[in-house]
Homo-oligomer: A and B are copies of this chain.
Amino acid sequence: MSIRIGIMGYGNLGRGIECAVKQNPDLELKAVFTRRNPENVKILTETAGVYPAADVEKYKNEIDVMIMCGGSATDLPVQTPEIAKLFNVVDSFDTHAKIPAHFANVDRAASESGHLAVISLGWDPGMFSLNRLYANALLPKGRDYTFWGKGVSQGHSDAIRRVKGVKNGKQYTIPVETALEAVRAGKNPELSTGEKHTRECFVVPEEGADQEKIREEIVTMPDYFDEYDTTVNFISQEEFDRNHSGIPHGGFVIRTGKTGWNEEHSHVIEYSLKLDSNPEFTASVIAAYARAVYRLAQEGQTGCKTIFDIAPAYLSPLSGEELRAHLL
Contact = CB atoms under 8 A, between A and B. Distances in A.
Given A308-B311, A311-B310, A316-B137, A96 B328 contact: yes
Interface string A119-161: 0100001010111111011111100000000000000000000
A270 B272 contact: yes
Contacts of A308: 311-313, 316, 320, 323-324, 327-328
Contacts of A310: 311-312
A133 B100 contact: no
A217 B1 CA distance: 58
Contact of A267 (B103, B136, B275, B315): B275
Interface stretch (A18-26, A63-71, A196-204): A18-26
Given A324-B99, A324-B306, A133 B313 contact: yes
A316 B136 CA distance: 8
Interface stretch (A74-82, A222-230, A277-285): A277-285
A277 B265 contact: yes
A93 to B, nearest CB: 10
A208 interface: no
A134 B138 contact: no
Interface string A251-293: 0000000011100011111111111110011011100100100
B306 A277 contact: no
A325 B99 contact: yes
Contacts of A259: 16, 19-20, 23, 276-277, 280-281, 283-284
B277 A140 contact: no
B309 A129 contact: no
Interface residues of A, number: 69
A325 B261 contact: no
B271 A276 contact: no
A307 interface: yes
A44 interface: yes
B284 A265 contact: no
A55 interface: no
A284 B274 CA distance: 28
A24 B137 CA distance: 9
A70 B313 CA distance: 27
Interface in A168-221: 184
A238 interface: no
Contact of A129 (B19, B132, B317, B327): B327
B261 A277 contact: no
Contacts of A316: 133, 136-137, 308
Interface of A: 16, 18-20, 22-24, 44, 96, 99-100, 103, 120, 125, 127, 129-134, 136-141, 184, 259-261, 265-277, 280-281, 283-285, 288, 291, 306-313, 315-317, 320-321, 323-325, 327-328
16 contacts: A96-B328, A100-B324, A136-B316, A136-B327, A137-B316, A139-B284, A259-B281, A260-B277, A265-B276, A267-B273, A268-B274, A306-B320, A308-B312, A308-B320, A310-B311, A311-B311
